[in-house]
Structure 1
Amino acid sequence: MAGAALPTIREVARLAGVSVATVSKALNDSGKVSEALRERVEAAARTLGYAPHASARSLRSGATRILGLLVADITNPFFLKLVEHIEQLASAAGYSVILCNSGEAAEREERHLRMLLSQRVDGILLMPVRDRWRGRIAALARLPQPLVLVDRMLDGLEIDSVTIDNRMAGHLAGEHLVQLGHRRVAMVMGSPEHQIARHRLDGFREAFATGGIALDEQLIARNCFHEEAAYRAALTLLDRAEPPTAIFATNNHLTLGLLRAISDRALAVPEALSVVAVDDLPFSSIIRPSLTVVMQPSAAIAHAAVSGLLDRIGARAPADGMKAVVLEPHLAVRDSTAAPRRQPPKR
């Protein structure tokens, strides 16, 4: 059965006893209308269930009041927290958000970007995937809409961004373990070719160098891009004749793989092994032992990203020059780290 026809602006005008032009001015706040008349028009619109057509309104104003949000991987709990904060901030500013999950796939990111452009979004927040797609830097550089990179930078693209100090994140983890007395320490990380992983390794190494300790390169598991790879790498580290006394995992997915390996080897934390990770998992503070983590300020990241994008949309920021916001992480010390205990060598 066909649905009832949508009410028209002429029906609102008839019910309110005014002209179509007056209805348009009252509902779109585009002209001088008395408060009493505005209330009468709005009451008529509510009675009929009328709402101005968004597409037509955007054509007139040049704005859709919609932001695009491209997320590299929605399964990452850190990105989920950012999405929640961003949507709340955008909503409070009167914007809706189109959320796209790229799933760390370059072709999906490119396709989502084209879709957002076709929807005429007012601006885009991009948490970029690790892999490139052909022409990505050039395409992003010439976007007609304002763009802000979130969490990850892209080499060769001079554009507004909000990130954390990833060297500091690695340094905080390393410094904590050095102060506890750890000397044989492992690390589970992504590719050093990617800026975040490389900077966290640099900061971690610097903390040990400051303490006069050289990291054993054989204990650094590189190129772990997902939980399963981290799990296998952690098992290899734990099964060494001289296993590490502490392990640092550089993101949420890798932390999950590490914790699975520790569970499979029935190791006591922190008695047999100390664990430090970057960013909180949803259960980090309630598992036993609770997890020591380097915290990323997700609320502050979201606020800087949304406010920076809205400044660009509203032409409140200089037209030329990029604005790079770098926020500081902090260490949350919990129960998964302690001074190392001497372990008998494996036979």
Structure 2
Amino acid sequence: MVSMKDIANALNLSRCTVSDILNNKLEHRSYKPETIEMVRMKAKEMGYVSNNIARSLKTGSTRTLAIVVPHLSNPFYTHIIQKVEKLANKEDYSLIICTTEEKLDKEDHVLQMLTSRMVDGILISPVSFEGSLRKEYSYKIVCFDRTIESGKYPAALFDNETAARQLMSQVLRRGCSRPLLLNTAESDYTIRCRMKGYRQVLREAGCELDDRLIYYDIYDKMQSYEIMCRILKDPDIRFDSIVLGTNFCIYGVLRALKELNVPSVPIAGFEDFNGSEVMDGEFIKAIQPEKKIGKEAFYMLLRYLNGEKPQDVFLQTDEIEDPFDEDTTN
């Protein structure tokens, strides 16, 4: 195995110089650009591979981070992962990507596994507001998109309550007053905030939210299709708009409306809809700043690793999009 000493001898440089360059410790050094390039090229030429285990024993850091998300099939999370991975590479960190599938037992298993991998820190979108992150962990933790009841860990969050008020206000501007709400878990921090925002706007408009129009635990297109068919076939359930808790629902909703020949109704949600080709729809969107959330969470974690405990950050919606209303603005 090629060592730093071998590279130093080949270039007639000190081992310290080679170590600084290959470990990217250049901030307070004055090495010439051609020296840096020469060392990196020689390391590649000689087949040098960094010994992360030895480095971690010496520095106490593996320079490895992890990001834990509910699903990889949700574009919201994949966009955040892409941003975090890009920033991690820039800062010379490796990134482990894990999923929980919205299951607490799997989340516990993932967190235990990351302890054995000796990661320096993790970014996580917790499964449960009450049940997640209840143990002590050996690494730093920053939450994103969701947080936990104790508020023990700093979080980069989307201001869901404000966005929900804006979104429901736009639904009301369409002349609707009986929204059908299709949500994920009732215990989800995000859903709680959104429900609070919905209720406030409807109450202010003199419209009470009908509990018969609130559905939870919908995570995919088949669930949303089956529930939507059942709702549409029930003559006692009346609604004039649909508000989605996740874009996973859109295909099932549109399929049910199309198959049962139901006239188009306004559909609102918090993520970009990729199902508009299934059927013409009237989509109202609260655009979430996915990349901003990823960037904010990543640099919060870096500050945490450097000894500072960051404060929670709340990011606003980029805009409310409604193709039928020219007055919707950023």
Give 1:214's aligned amino acid: E
C-alpha separation between the residues in 1 aligned to 2:5 and 2:93? 28
The answer for the alignment partner of 2:328 in structure 1 is: none
- C-alpha distance 47-259 of structure 1, shift in aligned 2 (>3 A): same
C-alpha separation between the residues in 2 aligned to 1:224 and 1:101? 18
Is residue 77–residue 282 contact of structure 1 (8 Å, CA) maintained in 2?
no
Unaligned runs of 5+ in 1: 1-5, 337-347
Q: Measure how far apart 1:312 and its partner are.
A: 0.9
* Range with greater deviation from structure 2 (168-177 or 6-15): 6-15
C-alpha separation between the residues in 1 aligned to 2:80 and 2:276? 17
The answer for the alignment partner of 1:274 in structure 2 is: 266
C-alpha separation between the residues in 2 aligned to 1:153 and 1:127? 7
- Aligned runs of 1:59-208 on 2, under 5 Å? 59-130=57-128, 136-139=132-135, 142-208=136-202
Deviations 1:90-135 (A, max 9, x none): 22222221101122222222222122222222211011124876xx
Give 2:288's aligned amino acid: Q
SS at match of 2:148: coil
The answer for the alignment partner of 2:320 in structure 1 is: 331
Q: Report percent identity of matched pairs.
A: 25
C-alpha separation between the residues in 1 aligned to 2:102 and 2:184? 13
C-alpha separation between the residues in 1 aligned to 2:207 and 2:133? 40
The aligned length equals 320
Is residue 105–residue 131 contact of structure 1 (8 Å, CA) maintained in 2?
no
Is residue 22–residue 33 contact of structure 1 (8 Å, CA) maintained in 2?
no
* Range with greater deviation from structure 2 (58-67 or 22-31): 22-31
Deviations 1:262-290 (A, max 9, x none): 12223342xxx221122113455997446
- C-alpha distance 143-180 of structure 1, shift in aligned 2 (>3 A): same
C-alpha separation between the residues in 2 aligned to 1:248 and 1:33? 57
SS at match of 1:124: strand
Is residue 74–residue 248 contact of structure 2 (8 Å, CA) maintained in 1?
yes
C-alpha separation between the residues in 1 aligned to 2:209 and 2:21? 69
SS at match of 1:334: coil
SS at match of 1:138: coil
C-alpha separation between the residues in 1 aligned to 2:139 and 2:7? 35
C-alpha separation between the residues in 2 aligned to 1:25 and 1:181? 65
Q: Measure how far apart 1:42 and its partner are.
A: 4.7
SS at match of 2:134: helix
- C-alpha distance 71-12 of structure 1, shift in aligned 2 (>3 A): same
Is residue 267–residue 282 contact of structure 2 (8 Å, CA) maintained in 1?
no
Give 2:133's aligned amino acid: I
Unaligned runs of 5+ in 2: 326-330
**Could you say what the CA RMSD is over the residues aligned between the two structures, in angstroms?**
3.0
Give 1:81's aligned amino acid: H
Whether 2:249 is the aligned partner of 1:254: answer: yes
SS at match of 2:133: helix
Q: Measure how far apart 1:147 and its partner are.
A: 0.7
Whether 2:237 is the aligned partner of 1:245: answer: no
- C-alpha distance 280-49 of structure 1, shift in aligned 2 (>3 A): same
- C-alpha distance 131-194 of structure 1, shift in aligned 2 (>3 A): closer
* Range with greater deviation from structure 2 (286-295 or 84-93): 286-295
The answer for the alignment partner of 1:343 in structure 2 is: none
Is residue 241–residue 266 contact of structure 2 (8 Å, CA) maintained in 1?
yes
Is residue 151–residue 164 contact of structure 1 (8 Å, CA) maintained in 2?
yes
C-alpha separation between the residues in 2 aligned to 1:279 and 1:96? 29
- C-alpha distance 99-179 of structure 1, shift in aligned 2 (>3 A): same
Greater radius of gyration (CA): 1
